Amino acid sequence: MRIGIRNNTFFIASVIYFLLISTSIANALIDNNPPLPWLSVKGTNFINDKGDKVLLKGVNLSNNVWGSWVAGVSESQEAEKKNPMVRPLRQDAWVLGALDFDLIKNLNGNVVRYAINYELFSEDNPARKDNLDKMEQDIAQFNNRGIYVIICLHIPEGLDVSSDSYEIIKPGNIRLKSIFENQKFWEDTVTLWNYLARGLKDLSGVAGYEIINEPRVPSRIEGGLEQFRNKYNELCQEIRKIDNKHILFIPEYNSRESNPGEKYWSAAYNKMLVDNGEQWIIWERGWVEISDSINNVAYVAHFYEPWGFTAEGGKSFSKEALEGYMISNWSERMQRFPLIITEYGINRNQSVIARKKYLEAVHALFIKYSLSAIYWEYKSKVGPYISSFNIFGIYGQYVDYAKEATREAEGKYFLKPWALEPARKNKFQQLFDNYYCSSPDGPTIMDNLSVKEELQRFFTFK
């Protein structure tokens, strides 16, 4: 018996040693990969420094930049009708673990859009330098796998796409101001991008900087489109003083505030109203042009058409309407500049069959018009307090299972009694039973294998 135990132990130890050595060799090979070629803009294309045309295709990393519910803080924020989510001062550990890099590599894309929030790099954050070091390490991990990184200021100071769901019901005079309306917020944003540009300017594996996510044009009384354009150009010029190599990705505005006398749609009254100085929201998109004196510029669009289908569970979509939207909204821009779709996707309001069918139609159009495109998103946080219908991620990760679930003697996990009601309400109970009760730790692909395969097909299409 003892001899057998020693032999088995020796065998297991040998296997473990072999695996460790193999992993070390693999990591060494990865770490010794040459730097990725620099990317730049030529005509309407992205090219590398060898002159080869490059289509950028990959996934978004949302990185939980909109923050988390923090007991004792979030309740008071919510009571004041403000966004209760507290922004991270350090990137949450779960958003990008060792396994994630290889799962993303397995998708066969060549780019990730890496979201950040303002607070990570604000001057008063003691972890600012650590956060930059962490970002550089993440960039190196992606670059070693042949993947470029676009840094996107997804959650700026002031009004952002997350806080807007709380602010949109308020008139303009009390609504949280954006960086285009508040001078301090604007100066802080310039400072942030200067800091990042100094840290990243020599990294060829950074494709470039998306300067802000889905901005809103202020009303005329607060500067309107002219001020919006001027600030875009000012920010690009400030970055160019430090970094003259990386591509500047310039987003279309996603909405604008109404001006006195303009009509706008009121969801509250379900009809058109006339603005009397309230600065309500008009959902209108468009670009402002960056000065010709600023080099290496590309333009950004997002695509969730039709929103009623991709996000709200509508019954159908039209391929012809998808193409019509692209032609009417993007054709002029595509003929003059590189255009990249840095967000597109569909959530779980639709079945996996419908999701795959929609992506096939959209990818066919991206291929037809030779468009770079980045899928929203790689991974979503799941749990009892998150609507399962709103999940866009290919993978889902149950981050809070340790406090919301318990493991029974037979090895299965069960939701704790107080988590059951919100889990049923948000349809998480079904997700949990199907994909998380046996092994809740780490990302899981849920029912998205066919979606993943369609993305792999598109990402590798030449």
Do 28 and 44 sit in the same domain of this protein? no
Please check whether residue 356 lies inside any domain of the structure. no
| Residue 68 confidence (pLDDT) | 93
Do 249 and 155 sit in the same domain of this protein? yes
Share of the chain above pLDDT 90, in %: 89
* Range 35-55 average pLDDT: 97
C-alpha of 438 from chain center: 29
Do 194 and 219 sit in the same domain of this protein? yes
Do 12 and 114 sit in the same domain of this protein? no
**Residue that terminates a domain, selected from 303, 327, 362:** 303
Please check whether residue 311 lies inside any domain of the structure. no
**pLDDT grade for 269, boundaries at 50, 70 and 90:** confident
Domain around 9: 1-32
Q: Exposed, middle or buried, 417 (CB in 10 Å: 0-12/13-18/19+)?
A: exposed
Quick: pLDDT tens for 356-388.
999 999 999 999 999 999 999 999 999 999 999
Quick: pLDDT tens for 79-114.
999 999 999 999 999 999 999 999 999 999 999 999
**pLDDT grade for 265, boundaries at 50, 70 and 90:** confident
Please check whether residue 239 lies inside any domain of the structure. yes
Give the span between the Cα atoms of 104 and 107, in whole angstroms: 5
Residue 16 has pLDDT above 90, yes or no: no
* Range 73-81 average pLDDT: 92
Residue 13 has pLDDT above 70, yes or no: no
**Residue that terminates a domain, selected from 303, 321, 342:** 303
Give the span between the Cα atoms of 18 and 83, in whole angstroms: 51
Length of the chain: 462
Please check whether residue 268 lies inside any domain of the structure. yes
> How many degrees, rounded to 5, is the angle at CA 285 between CA 173 and CA 47?
130
Number of domains in the chain: 2
Do 4 and 105 sit in the same domain of this protein? no
Give the span between the Cα atoms of 259 and 281, in whole angstroms: 10
Hey, is 81 helix, strand or coil?
coil
| Residue 31 confidence (pLDDT) | 55
Please check whether residue 3 lies inside any domain of the structure. yes
Residue 24 has pLDDT above 60, yes or no: no
Instruction: Return mean pLDDT, the chain.
Output: 92
Please check whether residue 235 lies inside any domain of the structure. yes
The two tokens of residue 101 are 């890099």
Quick: pLDDT tens for 207-261.
999 999 999 999 999 999 999 999 999 999 999 999 999 999 999 999 999 999 9
Q: Is the separation of the CB atoms in 188 and 194 below 8 Å?
A: no
* Range 274-291 average pLDDT: 94
| Residue 32 confidence (pLDDT) | 62
Do 82 and 117 sit in the same domain of this protein? yes
Please check whether residue 410 lies inside any domain of the structure. no
Do 115 and 262 sit in the same domain of this protein? yes
Quick: pLDDT tens for 106-149.
999 999 999 999 999 999 999 999 999 999 999 999 999 999 99
**Residue that terminates a domain, selected from 271, 303, 335:** 303
Do 20 and 90 sit in the same domain of this protein? no
Do 12 and 90 sit in the same domain of this protein? no
Rg (CA), the chain: 24
Task: List the strands of the sheet with 255-257, edge to edge.
Answer: 216-217, 255-257, 281-282
Give the span between the Cα atoms of 14 and 21, in whole angstroms: 10
* Range 436-443 average pLDDT: 94
| Residue 267 confidence (pLDDT) | 75
Do 13 and 146 sit in the same domain of this protein? no
Do 212 and 125 sit in the same domain of this protein? yes
Cβ contacts of residue 302 below 8 Å, gap of 6+? 214, 251, 252, 254, 341, 342, 343, 344
Residue 27 has pLDDT above 80, yes or no: no
Please check whether residue 119 lies inside any domain of the structure. yes
Hey, is 67 helix, strand or coil?
coil
Of the ranges 28-32, 235-239, 272-276, 413-417, which one carries the lowest mean pLDDT score?
28-32
Do 85 and 27 sit in the same domain of this protein? no
CATH number of the domain where residue 50 is located: 3.20.20.80
